[in-house]
Each structure stands twice: as structure tokens, then as C-alpha cells.
Structure 1
């Protein structure tokens, strides 16, 4: 049965609230934003907020999860043809660290979320790490610690590129930081040096910008 007008209106209101939350996360921490500001930015009535979200934190959590899903789709599309887990890891790290230049809005939301950003991605990443470990490509003892090391290093490198990514500059400086981040993580997970350097230097797909 197709959605009725009420369902369509509710979906538009929810989408507007999520869009406003994402826009606000680019420059503000959730604690600094009021529900009034969110509803004004979304151009919806204040009273409609609680018809969709039980709290401001629930809205921002959902907005971050939405960004994580989009980020995952980008990485999945870029790495679809790769079979070596070490190459998948390298490409995913490099593409993420380049986000300030290729997808600046996503990059700023991810940086604003900080380590909490790892929560919606954790199940997929841990499954990948376990597979990579099981086939003998990446070495580690604890999946949770491996996730923290991978996520923390990647988010830290993304924070670095946010500070150096001038809109009118080329990608060379960002690319160098991305390659270094990937190389360091490949070494961390036991990939031999020659192999790690070769993988980290592989060409990436041409960036699709916001």
C-alpha cells in the first residue's frame, strides 16, 4: 500500500530534522544546539520534534548513523573489486582521510562525532578485521582493540587533513597524509614493509566530490 499524505508529511519532517542536525554538526557540538534552533533550521514546528525523536541526543545519534551509512556506501563502492583485505584496509583509510577534500560535509560531521562515530560502524569493521585475521592477512590478538587502533588512527589523520585541506589547493598534501596513515596501519597489523609500501601507494579511484 502506498504511503498516505500523513505518512509522507511525517517522512518529510523527519528528513528535515535529520538534515538540520547534520548541517548544525558541521560547526556546532550537540550540547551547544537547542531543539528550538533545530526546528527553526528544519523549518518545522517546535511541537513536532517529539513526534519523531525522544531527545536531542537521539536525533544527533541518528544523524551520525546516517552519515556512517553514507560513508560505508562510499567505501564499499570504492573497494568492491578488491579481494586482499590489506588492500581494502589501505583504500578505506586513504579514502576516509581524504574526505575533507572530497566530501567536506561528511568529514566535518565525522570529526565532530569523534570516537562515538565508531559505534555504528563497529559491527561491519569488526567482521572485516576478523575475516582478515582468519585468512592470515592482518595480525592482532583482540578485535576490539584492533577496531580502536584502526578507528582512532584514521579519525586522527582525518582531523589532521581537516586542518590542512584548503579549498583551492590540490590533493597532494592530503594524499600524502592519507598514504602515511594507511602505511602506518598496515605496519601495525603486521603487513611486511615492502608489501605495505606497495599497497599504500596504489592508485585510488578518482574522487567524487560533494
Structure 2
């Protein structure tokens, strides 16, 4: 607990974001409506427009809110792990597991991740921190940091798409994680071993 008092406006905005994530995850981006979001949030329809002008605006904000919250949960889950390579594998595998087990939610996030500059700004630091840790520990050997980030983010997003579409199954998660570690310069045998380590449990949302 930080002890900071949350204002009524912050609390209402958070209710709307959580409700939007729930609606879009259950109904899909196209079918989800503002009326359903306000009903789930327990606020009047008119209240929505005090915070967001359009459905597209809350779509982006809700996806980023969920994405950052999910990153924070992943970060908390591996706080006891010092190996940057294992942290990298855990982060990617958790997102891919989400795509497999909650495809509607993952598709909703993917729709924003592919086009939002703000998503990139908010989520990228978590991935970059693991990359830099692995480089400092000499676990990764990369041609450039930006090329490595493109490899990680592009591969994970493509894998999420394959998993949500049903083109790939659970075995794909470990294979992709191992492939990323190999691409970052790890020896194949070691990369495969790290990618198969048990996932630490996520703390509650």
C-alpha cells in the first residue's frame, strides 16, 4: 500500500477501464458497446463522456491499463529470480499463455498493441529491463539493442496472433520462448532448458 488517497474521479476512471476490458474480452472489440461498459462499471451512460470521447479512446486506454497491470504482475512473480534470461522467457510465456487461455482478451489487447504508440511506450520498458539485465549478465549477445527489442516484441506479438487464431497450441509457447533466447545469442541447449522452467504463479489481479 502506498497510502495515497484515490480520488473519486480516479476511482470512476478505473471502474470504466476494468469494465471495458471485461466487455471487450467477453464480447469482442466490435460487439462491445459503451452502454455495456457503463452497465458493468455501475455508472450512468453520460458519465462515460466525462472521461472518454469515443469507444476507440477507451479501447486503447483499457488495453494499456490491462497490459501494464499484467506486466506488473509478471514482474512481481519473478522478483526472486535474478537470471535475466529466465525473466525474459517468463514474460513472453505468460503473455502467450494468456493468448491461449483467454483468446478474446488477448485479441483485444493485440488490436491496440499493433497500432498504439502509447502501448509501446508503456509496455516496452518492462521488456527492455529484462533485455538489459541479460546483456549485463552476458546471457545475451546482440547486434544492437533496438534490433533485439524488435526480435522480442515482434516474435511475441506474432505468436499471440497464432495462439488466438487456433493455429498453434501450448507446445508453441515453449518453442517461441526458446527461439527468442536463441535469437538473443544463447546456446540452443541452454535456451531450450530455460524456456522449459516452471512458470512462477502470478499474483492476483
TM-score (norm 1): 0.75
Equivalence for 2:126: 124
Per-residue deviation, residues 52-110 of structure 1 (Å, max 9, x unmatched): 23554442232112111221123113322221211111122222211135555643432
Is the 1:102–1:209 Cα contact (8 Å) retained in structure 2? no
What does 1:96-115 correspond to in 2, within 5 Å? 96-102=95-101, 106-115=105-114
Offset at 1:184? 0.7
Equivalence for 1:177: 172
User: Could you say if the C-alpha distance between residues 207 and 130 of structure 1 is closer, same or farther in structure 2, counting changes exceeding 3 Å?
Assistant: closer
Is the 1:20–1:41 Cα contact (8 Å) retained in structure 2? yes
Q: Distance in 1 between matches of 2:126 and 2:201?
A: 24
Equivalence for 2:17: 18
Q: Distance in 1 between matches of 2:158 and 2:130?
A: 21
Equivalence for 2:28: 28
Q: Distance in 1 between matches of 2:5 and 2:156?
A: 41
Equivalence for 1:68: 67
Equivalence for 2:186: 191
Q: Distance in 1 between matches of 2:87 and 2:63?
A: 23
Is the 2:88–2:131 Cα contact (8 Å) retained in structure 1? no
1:155 pairs, out of 141, 154, 157, with 157
Q: Structure 2 stretches of 5 or more lacking a match?
A: none
Q: Distance in 2 between matches of 1:36 and 1:123?
A: 34
User: Could you say if the C-alpha distance between residues 164 and 73 of structure 1 is closer, same or farther in structure 2, counting changes exceeding 3 Å?
Assistant: same
Q: Distance in 2 between matches of 1:45 and 1:198?
A: 52
Is the 2:89–2:195 Cα contact (8 Å) retained in structure 1? yes
Equivalence for 1:89: 88
Equivalence for 1:169: none
Equivalence for 2:166: 164
Q: Structure 1 stretches of 5 or more lacking a match?
A: 166-172
User: Could you say if the C-alpha distance between residues 13 and 164 of structure 1 is closer, same or farther in structure 2, counting changes exceeding 3 Å?
Assistant: same
Q: Distance in 1 between matches of 2:58 and 2:162?
A: 28
Q: Distance in 1 between matches of 2:42 and 2:201?
A: 36
User: How many residues get paired?
Assistant: 198
User: Could you say if the C-alpha distance between residues 124 and 100 of structure 1 is closer, same or farther in structure 2, counting changes exceeding 3 Å?
Assistant: closer
Is the 1:118–1:151 Cα contact (8 Å) retained in structure 2? no
